[in-house]
Structure 1
């Protein structure tokens, strides 16, 4: 019984002790100790200098702390104090009574401790703008008294939203600028007192739950910008009737803009830019009388601008850019007298700009109408918009001159009227815009000169007057433009030397003077420009040398001086331009060797073609492993192609043509598998075989190795080079033999791709079909036809030889019989051949009068085979272009006849003939060859009637080898002439007869 009486007393003691412990935990001393411990875990901060163990009695005077009536901390507000560290050492237990916790705008990192959920009296929590990471602790939802929660601008990631409780008193919530993913956080849907919700700049996705619009009807601010929400916006959004600020920009919303959006009468800001909204701008927008900012740019709207928009007279910012809006600007927009920024660019708006717009929009600061279809003149009233800072009217079709009233826009910092049809001179008043920083007038039809007044524009940083018709010299006053960074005057008619004062523009970054008529010595025209990264002086008439001073422009990435008259050597000092990517010095008068030091650079493009460079290609160019284009063509380079070029494995184009390079093509070039645009090694002295390794260049489109001394076959493996273009391959003028690759690319190449290679064959224009065993068996009839010409030729030759032998023998042993041949009164009108000859030519007629085109090689091109032994006897149209005519056999007969008469193949005689389109074949002026000198010198010179017969046979043969098939006689004509009883006698002595006199036979 005594024990039971003692129990209540024991419980009372325990209760009193617990109160004492709570008082001890929340005492100023314990709070001070906790804060000092946390301070010591941070980097030193002057803001926390008052937090000291020697100042424990003044806790309530420490920076960032607010105490209640008990002397304990009730608020911790340490915003913008540059606190650097974590919250790991922060002890939350002594601060259970704290109502405000503000650590915004510091450098805190690491996770937010879940213990913060113990501070159940908290009403205001902000960790905005720190470097906190990890998940958002679900214990935040234990803070049921919190009305303000801002965790924005950190690196927080998605928690398990299902663990979060509703926070009924929450009115302002921001998770913006974090890395939250998945769908809309579900617990927010039950925070029905929210007036401010900011989830911008996350990666939230999916469609918006309907409860956003039905449960959160107290929202005044809704920001979902920069997420991945998608789908149409629910019609229930109009239930957010208290909404003032709606921001849905940069998402994936689609569909049409709600027609009744005008019922949300409190809206002042609408941001729906950068989505996929389509259709029209609803006319109900005119009901939003309080609307001040309207962003619909970067969508797919395709209507006209509704005239009702002019009723939104409080609009200060209107952005409808980058849609497909059409039509003219409605005149009702003149009511927008408060408009300060107008962005209608990148649409299909058309028509002229009414002067009334400019006269009413006097508050305009920014006018952006670029990239539309506006026409007409720029209204003079633009001069009334004196507050303008930015004017962008480029990419339209404005005509007329630039209004001089532009000179009234004294606050203007950027003016872009480029790519229009403006004409006339640049108004002098424009050069007085001393605040102008950027002037863009390129791609117009402006004329005149740049006046000295340009020196007034001391704020100018960039000027582009390119692609106009400006002329004259650059004024020296350009030296006053000390802030000038970019100057582009290319494609005009400027002339004269560059002003020396240009050297004073030390801030230059980009210079384009190409495509003018500038002249003078370029050597010292520029100084040291440490920020210069691009300069193009191409296509002018500069002389002088490339100064080593360029090496001091250490930021240069592009140096272009092509197509001038610059001479001297390429300075080795350019190796110091470690950021140089493009070096263009083509079409000048540079001499000397290519500096091997260029191999130290990081070039993407190197063009030194059309100069007078000598020596070998430096092996160190192989170190340019970033190089994409190399052009050294049309120089005087010698030696071998360096195999080290294989290390330039990003090359897209390689041109070494028209030099004096020798040796073999390095097989290593086949390792340049990125090569796709061009490989040109033509017009050198390269020898040896074509490396089969080049077949690895499967991306290559153009290949030219013509005009060399290459031998052997074109590798069959080239069939894998499927990207080659038939019209862009050239193997001509080498010593190549064998069959071309059997692919469409090579078979469809033009005839001139293979000319000058006597041994190439294949199924391509200009080549004979190659002979194989299989084709021999399959087309034996074609082979028979192929040898028909030589057989017929032998038959004819046998007859001619027989005739000649008879005549020679008769002349030597039976002179009296020869004299018995009938003559006609000494006039030599005709000669009658004796019986033997008559019989021989009768047989010839019989043998040839049925010899027609069906016996010609190539009648059926689908059955051609290699014509062994026929080269040198084939007609040129057949040998070179596979053109089949009925005179192909005639040419072959003529060659054979001349070969019998001369005792050797007549190739030298044929090459001396100059073929003309006329019916006759003539001899070049330097080749008046005597007939007696071309006859077989092993036989005695013919005399008498034998000489007459020889002259006649040669005359017939020369007619047969005329270049034009139409100029040759028919075979029947030849046979009839040779078998005729009457022949013309000689009118000149045999020793004086020239070949040229025997070329006039008429058919």
Structure 2
């Protein structure tokens, strides 16, 4: 008896020793992997001081025998690879969850040593290379998730050997077609996600053998051809089907209506044709129907009104060309309806007022007419987005819009709406974007609009609004875009507008605004785009406007502004487009601007600028248009202007420039228009000017004594030049091929025909003399004027 007890004690303590040794081995394996990771702060509890009991470590769970059974470490910022994790020393692991970390490198083939693994989740990491074929040896696997990584090459056909797998997700990788001939049926599979990969060819036939599927996602691949009619009979239990963003074509199978359990059908962005099958209206379980961005054509079937459980309907960009069936108003569970970008006509059905759960409504880019019903706003108490822009709606904006207090987006632009902006719009305190532009709205901007303190974008441009800009706009401190151009607004800008500390774009052009520009308007550094053009502003351009140095677009042309330009413009290194023409600005042109590497367009014409042109202009390498005409600039033309390789238009006319034309201007390969007329330039036309193949407009008239070419213009409507009988410029223009655009050539009485060395007189419709209405032949050989009629 004692001997038996001794033997039992011996084996008991031996078992304890083995279990302790096993636990310590598992702990050593985990600690070794931890040491290979970069700053594994979340694994602080993993320590050699308590390695005898890893079951107490964070993310570790053990079985009854004290062996590590589960490793659950999602979203722990683990940074490293799996190479250092010794799977062989974790023989009892059944669950491994490392989802949403920073793991990289390959998935080791020896993961197959986890023979008891039932759940593997490595999704949302940076794992790369191919999925190892050895993964097919994990015979106990039920759940496999490798989505959102960087796996490449073909999906290994061995994955179909996992007979127990119910959930398989390898979406969002760079995987290609498996060897379909070697794929086995996967009868246990209920969830299959292969989205966002590089699958090609037709619908994968092996899917039809996975007869217990309830979830199928093949979206965002390169699959083509028709969807098989047999899908509905093979996958009768399907509840979710997503084929979005492929190139499937042909008709949408009407047999899909036989999928009586389907709740979610997404077929958007394919090449389906043949209209929307009316049979889809019998899918009583459907909650989501997305057929958008297909060339379907045809009408919206009234049968869709039978989808009483439908919550989301998206048919946008589908070439639909009917009226909206009133039966859609029977889908009273709809929260989202998007029918934009079609050819829908008629009005919105009155039955839509029954859709009391509507949250997001889109009907833009159609040809819808009639009034916007007030009932939509009074009944749709949960509406957050109402977008019916670019239609033909008329009538007034209903005052009832103020009842939709949860609205965040209201887009009514580009319609035929008239009347005033209702004051009730100020009740939409959650509104973030409001666009009423391009209508026929009249009256004043209601001061109540200032209550919209969450508004980030306000667009009222291209209406017939009058009155002053309300000071209450200054209360809209979240505003980033204020666009009220092209109206009939008048008076001075309220100083309160300077309180808009988040304003990035201010567009006021083409109004009747007057007075001075508020000096504090530009004190906030986020302001980047400003336009005061075509108003009656006076005084100086306030220095504070560019004190933040972040301004990119500044247009104030067509006003009565005067004085020197703010010195801070020299420090605005982000300047891209500047129009200050047609004002009375004065001062030294050399001090107005410095080197602006991003500057693309500058027009200071029609001012009173003086001084000489700085050679620094040549460093504005992105400048495409420079217009300084109509000032009092003197001195020579800097040769470095020829360094501006992107320059297309250079206009320096009507100044007091002297000296010769720099030959370096001929180094500008993109030069399209060159106007140096009305100066004091002398000397010869550099021959390099004639080598600029892009040049189509050249005006050197009214200079001294550059008489060889007074005015030369090429356009789609006319070409004209005059010069004395001597010193023909044609020898300088041999490379110009733009005469093919000419329609008429007028020869003045004081001139002779162009030199026959000019090679490009093609496609002229007529050659006429200014002293005769009859068509005359050129003086030189007709072969030099190829298609000019005699």
| Global fold match (TM > 0.5) | yes
Shift, 1:103, TM fit: 1.5
**Is the Cα contact below 8 Å between 2:337 and 2:362 reproduced in 1?**
yes
Query: After superposition, where does 1:575-614 map in structure 2 within 5 Å?
Result: 575-601=594-620, 602-614=622-634
For 2:282, which of 263, 286, 291 is the aligned residue? 263
Query: After superposition, where does 1:287-326 map in structure 2 within 5 Å?
Result: 287-326=306-345
CA distances 1:185-233 after superposition (whole Å, capped 9, x unpaired) = 3322211111111122223333223333321121101112222222221
Task: Tell me which residue corresponds to 1:646.
Answer: 666
Task: Tell me which residue corresponds to 1:45.
Answer: 40
Equivalent-residue separation in structure 2 for 1:764 and 1:280 (angstroms): 60
Other structure's SS at 1:398 match: strand
Specify whether residues 747 and 146 from structure 1 end up closer, same or farther in structure 2 by C-alpha distance, changes over 3 A only: closer
Equivalent-residue separation in structure 2 for 1:729 and 1:604 (angstroms): 31
For 2:415, which of 387, 396, 402 is the aligned residue? 396
Query: After superposition, where does 1:726-737 map in structure 2 within 5 Å?
Result: 726-727=743-744
Shift, 1:113, TM fit: 2.2
Shift, 1:73, TM fit: 3.0
Shift, 1:559, TM fit: 1.4
**Is the Cα contact below 8 Å between 2:610 and 2:631 reproduced in 1?**
yes
Specify whether residues 156 and 740 from structure 1 end up closer, same or farther in structure 2 by C-alpha distance, changes over 3 A only: closer
For 2:779, which of 767, 770, 781 is the aligned residue? 770
Shift, 1:667, TM fit: 2.2
Specify whether residues 68 and 167 from structure 1 end up closer, same or farther in structure 2 by C-alpha distance, changes over 3 A only: farther
Task: Tell me which residue corresponds to 1:660.
Answer: 680
Equivalent-residue separation in structure 1 for 2:782 and 2:302 (angstroms): 84
For 2:699, which of 670, 680, 690 is the aligned residue? 680
Specify whether residues 362 and 244 from structure 1 end up closer, same or farther in structure 2 by C-alpha distance, changes over 3 A only: same
**Is the Cα contact below 8 Å between 1:713 and 1:739 reproduced in 2?**
no
Shift, 1:419, TM fit: 0.7
Shift, 1:474, TM fit: 0.6
Other structure's SS at 2:593 match: helix
CA distances 1:135-186 after superposition (whole Å, capped 9, x unpaired) = 3222211111110111223333333333322211011111223333333333
Q: Give the structure with the larger helix fraction.
A: 1
Task: Tell me which residue corresponds to 1:723.
Answer: 740
Equivalent-residue separation in structure 1 for 2:781 and 2:669 (angstroms): 40
**Is the Cα contact below 8 Å between 2:368 and 2:392 reproduced in 1?**
yes
**Is the Cα contact below 8 Å between 1:614 and 1:638 reproduced in 2?**
yes
Equivalent-residue separation in structure 1 for 2:616 and 2:386 (angstroms): 51
Unaligned runs of at least 5 residues, structure 2: 1-17, 68-90, 784-788
Task: Tell me which residue corresponds to 1:951.
Answer: none
Shift, 1:365, TM fit: 1.1
**Range 320-329 or range 250-259, more displaced:** 250-259
Shift, 1:385, TM fit: 1.1
**Range 232-241 or range 176-185, more displaced:** 176-185
**Is the Cα contact below 8 Å between 2:109 and 2:134 reproduced in 1?**
no
Shift, 1:731, TM fit: 7.9
**Is the Cα contact below 8 Å between 1:711 and 1:737 reproduced in 2?**
no
Specify whether residues 579 and 443 from structure 1 end up closer, same or farther in structure 2 by C-alpha distance, changes over 3 A only: same
Equivalent-residue separation in structure 2 for 1:450 and 1:719 (angstroms): 52
**Is the Cα contact below 8 Å between 1:173 and 1:197 reproduced in 2?**
yes
- State whether structure 2 residue 727 is matched by structure 1 residue 711: yes
Task: Tell me which residue corresponds to 1:570.
Answer: 589
Task: Tell me which residue corresponds to 1:912.
Answer: none
Specify whether residues 620 and 299 from structure 1 end up closer, same or farther in structure 2 by C-alpha distance, changes over 3 A only: same
For 1:252, which of 271, 277, 280 is the aligned residue? 271
**Is the Cα contact below 8 Å between 1:401 and 1:424 reproduced in 2?**
yes
Shift, 1:57, TM fit: 4.1
Specify whether residues 660 and 723 from structure 1 end up closer, same or farther in structure 2 by C-alpha distance, changes over 3 A only: farther
- State whether structure 2 residue 359 is matched by structure 1 residue 350: no
* Matched positions, count: 740
Shift, 1:573, TM fit: 6.7
Task: Tell me which residue corresponds to 2:231.
Answer: 212
**Is the Cα contact below 8 Å between 2:690 and 2:736 reproduced in 1?**
no
Task: Tell me which residue corresponds to 2:651.
Answer: 631
- State whether structure 2 residue 503 is matched by structure 1 residue 484: yes
Specify whether residues 332 and 220 from structure 1 end up closer, same or farther in structure 2 by C-alpha distance, changes over 3 A only: same
**Is the Cα contact below 8 Å between 1:270 and 1:293 reproduced in 2?**
yes
- State whether structure 2 residue 766 is matched by structure 1 residue 748: yes
Shift, 1:68, TM fit: 4.3
Query: After superposition, where does 1:464-483 map in structure 2 within 5 Å?
Result: 464-483=483-502
Specify whether residues 75 and 383 from structure 1 end up closer, same or farther in structure 2 by C-alpha distance, changes over 3 A only: same
- State whether structure 2 residue 158 is matched by structure 1 residue 139: yes
Unaligned runs of at least 5 residues, structure 1: 1-22, 756-762, 775-861, 864-1003
CA distances 1:762-796 after superposition (whole Å, capped 9, x unpaired) = x996867638899xxxxxxxxxxxxxxxxxxxxxx
Equivalent-residue separation in structure 2 for 1:398 and 1:112 (angstroms): 59
Task: Tell me which residue corresponds to 2:11.
Answer: none
Equivalent-residue separation in structure 1 for 2:730 and 2:502 (angstroms): 60
Equivalent-residue separation in structure 2 for 1:652 and 1:64 (angstroms): 69
Task: Tell me which residue corresponds to 1:176.
Answer: 195
CA RMSD of aligned residues (A): 3.3
Task: Tell me which residue corresponds to 1:975.
Answer: none
Specify whether residues 733 and 172 from structure 1 end up closer, same or farther in structure 2 by C-alpha distance, changes over 3 A only: farther
Task: Tell me which residue corresponds to 1:560.
Answer: 579
Equivalent-residue separation in structure 1 for 2:598 and 2:781 (angstroms): 58
Equivalent-residue separation in structure 2 for 1:648 and 1:765 (angstroms): 40
Query: After superposition, where does 1:931-946 map in structure 2 within 5 Å?
Result: none
For 2:443, which of 424, 430, 434 is the aligned residue? 424
**Is the Cα contact below 8 Å between 2:297 and 2:319 reproduced in 1?**
yes
Other structure's SS at 2:569 match: helix
**Range 395-404 or range 432-441, more displaced:** 432-441
Per the normalisation by structure 1, the TM-score is: 0.69
